[in-house]
Amino acid sequence: MAAPSISKAAFQRDLPALRDELLDLQTNLHASKSCAVAVIIAGSPAAGRSETVNSLLEWLDPKHIGVHALGAPSAEDKKFPALWRYWQKLPARGRMTFFFAGWYSEYLGGVIKGDRSKDHDRRAVERIVQLENMLMRDGVRVVKIYLHTDHVTQQRRLKELCANKLTSWRVSKEDRWQARHYKRVNRVVRMCLQATEHDAAPWHRVDGTDEDYRLLTVGRILRNELAAGLKAAEQKYRKWPSEKASKVAPLAMSQSKRRLDDDEYERQLATLQGRLARLVRKSRFAKRGLVLAFEGMDAAGKGGAIRRITHALDARQYQVVPVSAPTPEELSYPYLWRFWRHVPEQGSIAIFDRSWYGRVLVERVRDLTPAPDWKRAYAEIVEFERQLTEHGLFVAKFWLQVSKDEQLKRFKARDEDPLKRFKVDPEDWANRRYYDAYQTAAAEMIRRTDADNAKWHIVAADDKKQTRLTVLKAVCQTLER
């Protein structure tokens, strides 16, 4: 079958209007900041990936565009979960980013070479499809384009590139390998594209044999996707109904009546802190890492529990991430972006004082997020934590359960202490009115996101000393298991 082509006259006739349409859409995208656009440009060697992106950059305003060709993961990249480096490069609302192969780079390469297990490939597909679905729902339009060409054209272009000293660097060993195994590569690529084809982000296959046809076709795809993204963002949740409270049994816990005296508390505290210190200094921990997430009602003692953990650690080894309402910058990205930024590298510890669970707690209870968004967050959070544990990070999550009476007692004590008065603000008192709703939301959250490798620890928090010891013991057990 002959490759599709276009005459020079038709190309020159259609090009100006297409360029103007794309520029107008990009201007609307930047002005409205209603969505972002992530363009995956993948393809066979010499199919015109670089030339296509270069031409598009000439048509558009480059100030609002990012271009990333991340290549094989570096030694530093390998210290983090596989998708971490792509989360760092995602575009904010109002911007567009071109990824050369993007998160398909390692997947396609591994499948083509056949050096991965079927389970590994299946899991890679799950991660990719889940990521793209989440990005689309969080306002990032994912546009996937695969450029291909026939074998004769590919061989000719590679030969021309290699013959010129100024362009020979563009032909890698990987390109030569794929050219030699053209049929095998094409067969595997078709399987890969089929496996990652889904409604939220379909693949657009474009024949790159005729350069003018390729450029106009890719330009039209981008134009249509930009227009669709802007329209979808405008219509999304213009008005959403209030969500009726779920019928989930609230949390109920019995508090130990045994009170520790100061000497016994300090002895047990020192023992547990020493135990933790030894665990994170083991050579094996250098290839792992630890993520701790703390949730609970205001005044439940999260800060005090965290401080007893950090007192056992080397300050160079950990980071405490205090989480409050998202900033305007954070709101311009998918909601998990601000947590992916703080994922620890191997051998390090990240402690989140409040976490990604705000999506299904405060944002749900205070009606800050549409119900479809917080409802889908359960599955997205489970996937996020699974990626952390698959990379070798230990994950432990704590819900500190303080009773309503004890919370009121602590609020009043803080109000009366000039050194602690800053800890209670009007928002804390407002949240107290929603105490029962938070309890219901927390119960559903724990039920739907508890996992063997990312367990919830529900800690009775009316007794501060017992709370801190219980948390420290659970952290140690998480590392020891």
Closest CA to 255 of 42, 101, 403: 403
Is 433 contained in some domain? yes
* Domain end marker among 194, 218, 235: 235
- Chain segment 29-64, per-residue pLDDT in tens: 999 999 999 999 999 999 999 999 999 999 999 999
Which helix (DSSP H) or strand (DSSP E) does residue 61 occupy?
none
pLDDT of 363 higher than 70: yes
What is the bridge-based pairing of β-strands 140-148 and 203-207?
parallel
Tokens of 142: 């994912």
* 169 and 281 belong to one structural domain: no
Average per-residue pLDDT for the chain: 91
- Chain segment 446-456, per-residue pLDDT in tens: 999 999 999 99
- At 170 the pLDDT is 87
Tell me the one-letter amino acid at 113: K
- Chain segment 69-90, per-residue pLDDT in tens: 998 899 999 999 999 999 999 9
Work out how many domains the chain is built from and give that number. Answer: 2
* 267 and 125 belong to one structural domain: no
Residue 165's pLDDT band (boundaries 50, 70, 90)? confident
Is 339 contained in some domain? yes
What's the Rg (C-alpha) of the chain? 27
pLDDT of 241 higher than 90: no
* 107 and 149 belong to one structural domain: yes
- HEC string of 70-117? CCCCCCCHHHCCCCHHHHCCCCCCCCEEEEECHHHHHHHHHHHHCCCC
Is 343 contained in some domain? yes
Residue 15's pLDDT band (boundaries 50, 70, 90)? very high
* 136 and 284 belong to one structural domain: no
Is 391 contained in some domain? yes
* 266 and 229 belong to one structural domain: no
pLDDT of 397 higher than 60: yes
- At 247 the pLDDT is 60
- DSSP-assigned states of every residue in 215-254: HHHHHHHHHHHHHHHHHHHHHTTSS-PPPPPP--PPP--P
In sequence order, the β-bridge partners of residue 43 are 147
Contact indicator for 159, 153 with CB cutoff of 8 Å: no
- At 140 the pLDDT is 97
Ranges 93-97, 162-166, 220-224: which has the least confidence: 162-166
Percent of the chain, pLDDT > 70? 93
- At 291 the pLDDT is 98
Ranges 8-12, 22-26, 185-189, 233-237: which has the least confidence: 233-237
Residue 115's pLDDT band (boundaries 50, 70, 90)? low
Contact indicator for 366, 435 with CB cutoff of 8 Å: no
- At 234 the pLDDT is 82
Is 243 contained in some domain? no
Q: Of 116-120, 187-191, 366-370, where does the model show the most confidence? A: 366-370
- At 151 the pLDDT is 93
* 139 and 274 belong to one structural domain: no
Give just the sign of the alpha carbon dihedral 39, 43, 45, 47.
negative
Is 218 contained in some domain? yes
Task: Give how far the C-alpha of residue 377 lies from the chain's centroid of Cα atoms, to the nearest Å.
Answer: 12
Q: Helix 105-113 vs helix 182-195: angle between axes, to the nearest 10 degrees?
A: 130
Helices and strands per DSSP (H, E), number in the chain:
19, 10
> For residues 275 and 282, what is the distance between their CA atoms, to the nearest angstrom?
11
Q: Which residues contact 68 (CB under 8 A, 6 or more apart)?
A: 89, 97, 98, 99, 100, 102
pLDDT of 243 higher than 70: no
Contact indicator for 42, 145 with CB cutoff of 8 Å: yes
Is 65 contained in some domain? yes
* 226 and 274 belong to one structural domain: no
Residue 172's pLDDT band (boundaries 50, 70, 90)? confident
Task: Give how far the C-alpha of residue 479 lies from the chain's centroid of Cα atoms, to the nearest Å.
Answer: 25
Torsion of CA 53, 54, 58, 62, to 10 degrees: 70
> For residues 355 and 358, what is the distance between their CA atoms, to the nearest angstrom?
6
Residue 173's pLDDT band (boundaries 50, 70, 90)? confident
> For residues 117 and 98, what is the distance between their CA atoms, to the nearest angstrom?
29
- Give the position of tokens 């800060």: 303
Coil vs helix vs strand at 166:
coil
Coil vs helix vs strand at 290:
strand
* Domain end marker among 219, 235, 251: 235
> For residues 337 and 134, what is the distance between their CA atoms, to the nearest angstrom?
11
Q: Range of 177's domain?
A: 8-235
> For residues 227 and 28, what is the distance between their CA atoms, to the nearest angstrom?
10
Tokens of 238: 């213009």
Tokens of 328: 């305007």
* 139 and 77 belong to one structural domain: yes
Coil vs helix vs strand at 7:
coil
* 211 and 274 belong to one structural domain: no
Domain at 372, CATH number: 3.40.50.300
Q: Which residues contact 328 (CB under 8 A, 6 or more apart)?
A: none
